[in-house]
Amino acid sequence: MGDLVVVGLGYVGLPLVAEACRAGLSVTGLDVSRGVVDGLNAGRSHVDDLDDAEIGELLATGFTATDDATCVAEADAVVICVPTPLSAEGGPDLAAVEGACRGIGPHLRPGTLVVLESTTYPGTTAEVVRPLLEELSGLGADELHVAYSPERIDPGNATYGLKNTPKVVGADDPAAQEKARAFYSRVVDTVVVASGTREAESAKLLENTYRHVNIALVNEMARFFHELEIDFWEVVRLASTKPFGFQAFTPGPGVGGHCIPIDPNYLSHRVRTQLGYGFRFVELAQEINSSMPAYVVSRIASLLNDQEKAVRGSTVLLLGVTYKPDIADQRESPAVDVAKRLLQLGASVRYHDPHVASWDVAGTTSAGEDVLAAAADADLTVLLQQHSAYDLDAIEASARCLFDTRGRTTGESTHRL
């Protein structure tokens, strides 16, 4: 018998595979992508937090990847880690979750633990996943143990990974709760037990809504503080000296990644469809944060105007096109919207990113490897992401005009968000 099957081998599933293998569990990875399966079995990683050597180490423990769902028939636990993007209606698109359930359901045996880790609205595990699995497996409620555990993967975080980040686990019956707690206790340092699946689902949405709303707050404040000619970055620095009651958030060109631009909308959609009214904080935060790329472009136009240049025909260099520093992940990166808006205004857009070999935004061109030469050649250089590989002092010295959207530079000639 196998200990674990992880369904979905991306940024969430693969770190779980790694920690489970390191804990001595027998692990199989299940993914619908033949390319992902073949790549992993050949020792190639496709996520930032695991390199090829680490994939090789996993294979040496007996890990294997497959696209054959019959593997779950031998598993004690199955964890679903598939994407839940936004649907056209603004709620979570559960097609991948439902597809995973349909794939594994017919092969489940009595006593198997099934855990959903995909971020979604409260009620998904009890109202969608459990009924579907029971129908497809033919197992009764007392034969199938279903739980929910929100993923808390932070790509590129060198301090907190899956093992040392507390793991929230919720189930709606005592047997499933204990089985889920016991399973995760073999893999992570700390398990936090929720009273049910809805509470566990909601905890993840609260975490990311908290960040979403506070980022929107500082983004809006940065805009009017600029108009008031007050250095908002200094304001944040000063407020941060208070040892209680304040947590610093900083503005930026928008929000990106797999959580902040997406997850709070699940809760907003659930409130609106089930209760009949809006979640105004989330809707306002979404409006502010999604408007930041347009604001960045308006500031770019003003800075070029100060040089007696139009956006049309000017060369604008974008530094850092990933959604967070020092990783290659570009999901929901605001850099895409910034580039597209500049192209629509007729700018010549170049980009540089040490983690991105090619960028699929039609009309942009790579600045090559020499970032200092590219900055010296551009009419305006925009720091969108503060990768540690960037020598910001040297970039400041080389650029004709530098617009820093991350508040990481200190030069008097640099313009900050």
User: 329 — alpha (psi -120 to 50), left (phi > 0) or beta?
Assistant: beta
Active-site residue set: 259
Tokens of 175: 């047997």
Residue 193 and residue 200: Cα distance in Å, rounded? 9
> Is the whole model's pTM more than 0.85, yes or no?
yes
The residue type at 259: C
Structure tokens given for 376? 């010296």
pLDDT per position as a tens digit, 208-230: 999 999 999 999 999 999 999 99
**Rounded Cα distance, 293 and 78, in Å:** 40
Q: Which amino acid is at 5?
A: V
pLDDT at 1: 58
Q: Which DSSP state fits 62? A: T
pLDDT at 243: 96
Distance CA 326, CA 406 (A): 14
C-alpha–C-alpha distance, residues 343 and 329, integer Å: 23
For 415, the 3-state DSSP assignment is: strand
Read out DSSP for 166-184? -EEEEESSHHHHHHHHHHH
Bridge partners (DSSP) listed for residue 78: 5, 114
Q: Which DSSP symbol is given to 85?
A: P
Between CA 259 and CA 407 the distance in angstroms is 23
Return the structure tokens found at 283.
């809707």
CB 87 within 8 A of CB 58: no
Chain centroid to Cα 320, Å, comes to 16
Rounded to 5 degrees, φ, ψ at 380 are -150, 135
DSSP 259-302: STTTHHHHHHHHHHHHHSS--HHHHHHHHHHHHHHHHHHHHHHH
Which amino acid appears at position 407 of this protein? G
What phi and psi values does residue 179 have, to the nearest 5 degrees? Answer: -65, -40
From the CA atom positions of the chain, what is the Rg in Å?
23
In the numeric block, the tokens 């497959």 are attached to 66
Angle at 111 between CA 108 and CA 116, to 5 degrees: 65
Q: In what order do the strands lie in the sheet with 2-7?
A: 64-66, 27-30, 2-7, 75-80, 113-116, 145-148, 167-171, 191-193
- AA letter at 373: A
- Distance separating alpha carbons of residues 366 and 283, to the nearest angstrom: 36
In sequence order, the β-bridge partners of residue 319 are: 352, 383
Token digits for 136? Answer: 């497809």
Give pLDDT < 70 ranges for the chain: 1
Contact call for residues 35 and 71 (beta carbons, < 8 A): no
Q: Which helix (H) or strand (E) holds 185?
A: helix 174-185
Backbone dihedral region of 331: left (phi > 0), alpha (psi from -120 to 50 degrees) or beta? beta
Tokens 């050949």 belong to which residue? 42
Q: Are strands 380-383 and 167-171 parallel, antiparallel or unpaired?
A: unpaired
DSSP assignments along 5-33, one per residue: EEE--STTHHHHHHHHHHTT--EEEE-S-
- For the chain, domains (ranges, CATH) are 2-195 (3.40.50.720), 215-416 (3.40.50.720)
Residue (of 279, 281, 284, 217) closest to 246 by Cα position: 217
